[in-house]
Chain A
Amino acid sequence: MNIKKFAEQESKLVSGHRSCAGCAFPIIIRTVMKASKDPLVVSLATGCLEVTTTIHPQSSWNVPTIHNTFLNAASTLSGVESAYRALKKKGKIKKEIKFLAFGGDGGCYSEDTEIFTENGFIPVKNMEVGKKIWSVNPKTNNLELTFIEKIFKYNVDEKLIRVKSKFIDFLVTQDHNVPIKFKNEYKFIKASELFQRAKTPFTRSFNWKGKNLKYYKPTKIIKKTNQKESPKFEIKNWLEFLGWFISEGSLNYSKSGYLIRIYQSNKKNRKEILKLLKKMGLSPFECNRSVDFQSKQIYNILLKDCGKLSKERRIPSWVLELDKKLLKHIYKTLMKGDGSSLIQKGRKNPHLRYITVSKKLMNNFVELILKLGYNGTVKKRKDGVYIIGINTMYLNHIIYSKRKLYEKQGIKQLKEEHYKGQVYCPQLQKNHTVIIKRNNKISLNGNSYDIGLQSLSGALERGHDFVYVLYDNESYCNTGGQRSSATPLGANTTTTPAGKVHQGKEEFKKDITKIVAAHNIPYVAQAAVHNWMDLYKKAEKAFAVKGPAFINVLSPCQLNWKIKPEMAIKISKLATETNFWPLYEIENGVYKLNYKPAKVKPVEEFLKPQGRFKHLFKEENKRILEKIQKHVDSEWDKLLKLSE
C-alpha cells in the first residue's frame, strides 16, 4: 500500500458529515475501513461519531450501519455477527462479511495497625497522601520507597480476618489482598481465601539493593593544625565506629577540648575499639570503663549525624542507603553495644535483642534489619525503652488454617474476629504492598484495587468474529468534555476543572488496551491517527484474524483538548514521540513495539500545546508534571520489558 493507492480507494464514510474541523476520528474511520477487502457491517456507540454522521434523513455511511445506544455497540454487533452465522448456515447469505464496531468517548487495615514509612512506624490513621512509605516489589522482593496516592477510610462493624502467629499479626477486611509467597514472586489472594487453603506461605525476608562506597570522607572539614589533609576513612571502619558510637558513645565538650567517649565495661571489646580507632589513624586512650579520643571534626560530624543525647540518637540516613554487606558492619557493632544475645535453655539459637530509648533509632534499626533480610518485633516498655527482637530464622513462614497440633493447644492461626471501628486502606503509587506492625509484629501486606468492564468484555470473551475500534478522545467529548476514565491525570475537564484546591483530574488514565489484552484475544493494538500506514496495517491484521480484534486509536479533539484545529496530527505525533501513547500490538499474546523514538521528548512537549493542561505549567504545579513524566517513563519501561 502506498499513499497514492490509499487515496484512490473508495471511502466508506462519505463527505458531508458534521464533525468539527480538525477532528481526528473521520481519518481513523476511513483508514480502518479501507483496510477491509470484504463488505462491512458497522455498529456505532452513541457519541460524536454517531451524532455527526447519521443525522436523519442523511447518513454519511455507505455501508450498513446500526446505532443502538450508548454502551452496547459491542453487544449489538455480537447479535449482528450471530445473525450472520445463522443466516449463512441456512444459505440465506453467501457473501463474506466483516463486522466492525466503533466505540469512543465515550481491603483494609484496622485502626491499631502501624505502617512503616520513611520516618519509621506511623499509625495507619495518621497516614497522609504523599507520604513516603516502605514497600516490597512483588516481583523482585526488593524493598523500595513509594508514596501514598490515596487513603480510603471506612467504618466497619463486621467480621474481619485475623492472621496471628508467633511472627505475624494482622487484622484485615475479608476482601483485602494479602501477598503470599508463590515460587519466587508474590501472589495476591483475598484474605477470605486463606480459609480455603490448608496452608499459606508468607515471607518476612526481603531483598535490598543499596549503594556501595569505599571511603567515608566528611564534606565539611575544619583542618586541624597538625593534620595535612582532611581525613578519609575506610567505609567499613567508619561504619563499625558509628555502630559503637550510636550504641555506647557520648560527646563531651569542655575547656580541654572535644572529647568523644565510648563506654565499654567489657575489656575485650575495649581492645577491639582501640584497635579500630588506631586503624583509622586516630589517637585513642583507654580509660577505666571507656575508650576516649579527641577530635573537633568528628565531634561535629557525630553531633550532626547521630545526635548528642541518647533519646535523639539515630543512624545517619546515608548509612541506611548502603548495601547489605556494608550494613552488616554497623549492625555488628551496634549489637555489641546495646544488643544482647541470650541463649535460652533448650534452644539452639540465640534470642537477639536491641535496646534503645530513642524512637528514631528504633525505626532506623528496624529499617536496618529489614534491609539485611531479617525481621523482628518491637515492644515499648513502660519506662519508654524500645526492645527490638531480631528474627534471623523462620523468615519464610507458613500459616495453617487447620493443624491438629495447634488445635490441641487451642491456637488458631487464622480466624474471624468481630471488629467495630475504622479501617484504613492506603493506595500506593506502585507495588501495592506495605510493611505493617500490629501488636509488635512486622509483616508484609497487600493493597486493594478493582476493575470493571461489560458489553465489550462480554463480546470479547464470547469470541465473536469482529473488530472493535476505539477512538480515544480522552473524555466525554460529545457532551462537552467531561472527565472519563480515559482522561489523563492533570487534564482540566468540565467535571474536573482546575481550581484553587484541585488541579484537574487526579487519577491516571485507565489502560484499556491492556485490559482488553487480558481477554487473550488474537489481536490487540494501539495506534495513532498521524501514522496512517501503521493504523492501516493494524486494521488489515485485525480484519484478517478469526475472532475478536481490538484497536485503540488516539483521537485528538480540538474542542476539548483545547488545541487549534490544524494541530490534531501534530499532537498525535507528539503523543508517540514522548512515549505518552506508545504504538504497539499484541498478536496472540506476543507484544511488539511498533515505534521507538530515537530521542524521547519530555512529556511536557505533548502537554504544553494543549489548553486542557495549561494550569500544570504554573510553578506550583511542577510536581504534577513530574508525576506525569514518571508515570509515562514507568509505563514505557513495563512495555519495553513486555516486548523484549
Chain B
Amino acid sequence: MKKLALSGAEAVAEAMKQCNPDVVAEYPITPQTPIVENFSKFVADGLVDTELISVESEHSAVSAVIGASAAGARAMTATSSQGLILMFESLVVAPSLKLPIVINVVNRALSGPINIHCDHSDSMALKDSGWIQLYSATPQEVYENTLLAVKIAEDVELPILVCQDGFIVSHSIEKVEILEDDKVSKFVGEYNPKNYLLNVDKPFTAGPLCLQDSYFEVKKEQEDSMKKVKQSLLKHGKELSKLTGREYDVIEKYNLDNADIAIIVLSSTASTVKAVLDRLGNEKFGLLKVNLFRPFPYEEIKEALKNVKHVAVLDRSMSFGANAPLYSEVLSSLFGTNKKVQSYVFGLGGRDIFEKDIENVFNSKEFGDFKYIGVKE
C-alpha cells in the first residue's frame, strides 16, 4: 500500500486506472473535469488498456457506455450537475438492461441560477432512476467506493452512481492510501456477462418494446435486483476490508451508542460533524452517516437510532413543496416510533456550513417545521 496526496477527483481516476475498464466515455464539466483529465493522461501514457471515447455530450457519454456495457465491456464515465440530468433520458434505460455501469458523480448544484458549487440536487434528482447511489465523504472513501461499486454493480446487475462533494472533496487534497495494482485487479476481477452483443453466435435483442404484458415485470426485476444490493455491499466490503483494514457498511455510526441527539447527513459534512463531536466530547451527541442512499437502508437506520430521542436530518438539497429527500426517507424509517425528527436544509449552491452551525443543531430544543442553516433572511 502506498500513501499519496490526492484530491477526490484524482483518487477516482486512480481507482479507474486500477480497474482498467474496457471503455470510458469522457466529456468535461466542472467540477468533474479533473477525473476525465487525469484518466485521459493514463490512456495517453499507455497505463490502461481502455478505449477512450471523447464524446460530444453527456447524452452521448451515457449512450456510449450503455452500448459498450451491453456489448460485454466494463464501462465507466463521470459527470456533474447539468451533465447528469442531460444523461437522464438514456440513463434510465441502463437499469432496465441490467448493465453494471459505474458513473462517478461530482455533486454540483443544478441550474438555475447557474452555480458550480456543491449541493446534492443533481444526484437527488435521479433518486428514482433505478441506479444505486453511494455517497463518499473523503478522497479515501471515494477511491474505495469506486472499487466497491464495480463489484456491487456486476454482482447485482445494476448501474451505480458514486457521489462525492464538488470542490469540497473533488478538489481537496488529502492523504489517500492506494492499494497495489495487482491487489485491485484481483479484487475487481474479470467481467464475464452472461449475454452480450458481441457474442454474435448467440444473438439477442437488447432494449425491445415491452408493452402492457411485460413492462411491469421488467420493473419488478429491477426492484428485485435492488434488494440484493445491501448484502452485496457487505459481502464485497468484507473482501475489501481484508486489503484496507477499514470497514464498509450501508451506514456509519459515530459516537451513537449513548447519544440522545443524532445528526443524520450524507458525504463530506459528516466529517465536519465528526470534528465537532471530537471537540465537544459529549457522549449525548452522535452522528449517523448514510453511505448507501439507493437502495435506502430503512431497517439499519431504525436499528441504529433505537436509543436516540431526537434526530436532526441535514439535507443538501430540497424537494420543493415536500419533505427534503433524506429527511423524508428517515421519517419513513422511524415511522411508528415516538422520536422527534427535525429537518434542516443547508449548503445549497456551495454555501459553507460551519462547526458552530453543527453545535447549534445539537443544542437546539425546537422541533417542528424544517429550518434552513446559513440562509440570509
Contacts and interface: CB of A to CB of B under 8 A. Distances in A.
A233 to B, nearest CB: 67
A63 B54 CA distance: 28
A610 B109 CA distance: 52
Contacts of A78: 53, 55, 60, 63-64, 67
Contacts of B207: 44, 54, 66-68
Nearest to B204: A64
Interface residues of B, number: 43
Interface stretch (A79-87, A276-284, A300-308, A540-548): A79-87
A446 B25 CA distance: 40
> Taking each of A64, A77, A79, A454, which has the highest tally of chain B beta carbons within 10 Å of its own beta carbon?
A79
A66 B53 contact: no
A20 interface: no
B63 A75 contact: yes
A83 B73 contact: yes
Contacts of A39: 200
A92 B193 CA distance: 12
B352 interface: no
B65 interface: yes
B208 A87 contact: no
A97 interface: yes
B206 A86 contact: no
A90 B67 CA distance: 18
B22 interface: yes
Contacts of B211: 55-56
A83 B63 contact: no
Contact of B209 (A55, A97, A457): A55
A82 B61 CA distance: 12
A56 B198 contact: no
A6 B93 CA distance: 37
B209 A50 contact: yes
Given A64-B197, A86-B50, A54 B209 contact: yes
**Residue with the highest number of chain B CB atoms closer than 10 Å, among A41, A56, A80, A93:** A80
A67 B208 CA distance: 7
B71 A84 contact: yes
A468 to B, nearest CB: 14
- What class of interface size applies to chain A in its complex with B? 35 or more
A68 B67 CA distance: 8
A192 interface: no
Given A67-B208, A79-B63, A82-B23, A93 B198 contact: yes
Contact of A80 (B50, B71, B89): B71
A87 B63 contact: no
Contact of B206 (A65, A87, A457): A65
A454 B51 contact: no
Nearest to B213: A56
Contact of B205 (A61, A83, A457): A61
B198 A79 contact: no
Nearest to A76: B67
A59 B90 contact: no
B19 to A, nearest CB: 13
B326 interface: no
Interface string A132-175: 00000000000000000000000000000000000000000000
B197 A41 contact: yes
A572 interface: no
A459 B198 CA distance: 19
A82 B68 contact: yes
A77 B68 CA distance: 8
Contact of A62 (B54, B198, B203): B203
Nearest to A39: B200
B318 interface: no
A392 B51 CA distance: 63
Contacts of A461: 56
A181 to B, nearest CB: 34
Contacts of A119: none
A122 interface: no
A89 interface: yes
A86 B203 contact: no
Contacts of B57: 454-455, 458
A87 B203 contact: no
Interface in B43-93: 49-51, 53-57, 59-60, 63-73, 75, 89-90, 93
A83 B198 contact: yes
A72 B59 contact: yes
A80 B68 contact: yes
Contact of B22 (A51, A62, A86, A454): A86
Nearest to B202: A64
B338 interface: no
**A44, A71, A77, A87 — which one has the most chain B CB atoms within 10 A of its CB?**
A87
Contacts of B25: 79
Given A41-B197, A75-B60, A82-B51, A69 B208 contact: no
Nearest to A73: B63
Contacts of B60: 72, 75, 78, 454-455, 458-459
A83 B203 contact: no
B360 interface: no
B71 A68 contact: no
A71 B60 CA distance: 9
Contact of A82 (B53, B93, B205, B214): B53
B214 A57 contact: yes
B200 A79 contact: no
A255 interface: no
B293 to A, nearest CB: 25
Contacts of B63: 68-69, 72, 75-76, 78-79, 455
B183 to A, nearest CB: 20
Counting chain A CB atoms within 10 Å of each CB, which of B75, B89, B200, B210 scores highest?
A: B200
B365 to A, nearest CB: 52
A7 to B, nearest CB: 22
A75 B57 CA distance: 10
Given A69-B89, A84-B71, A56 B209 contact: yes
A228 interface: no
Contact of A79 (B66, B210, B214): B66
A56 B208 CA distance: 6
A83 B22 contact: yes
Nearest to A12: B203
Given A51-B209, A55-B211, A83-B73, 17 more contacts: A61-B203, A62-B203, A64-B205, A67-B208, A75-B55, A75-B59, A82-B22, A82-B64, A83-B51, A83-B67, A84-B71, A86-B22, A86-B51, A87-B73, A92-B72, A458-B56, A462-B55
Interface of A: 39-41, 43-44, 50-51, 54-57, 59, 61-69, 71-72, 75-87, 89-90, 92-93, 95, 97, 454-455, 457-459, 461-462
18 contacts: A55-B209, A55-B211, A59-B204, A61-B203, A61-B205, A65-B203, A66-B71, A66-B205, A69-B89, A75-B59, A79-B25, A79-B68, A79-B75, A83-B68, A83-B75, A86-B68, A90-B49, A458-B60
Interface of B: 22-23, 25, 49-51, 53-57, 59-60, 63-73, 75, 89-90, 93, 197-200, 203-211, 213-214
**10 interchain residue pairs of minimum CB distance:** A79-B67, A458-B56, A79-B64, A83-B73, A75-B60, A83-B71, A72-B63, A79-B68, A86-B22, A67-B207
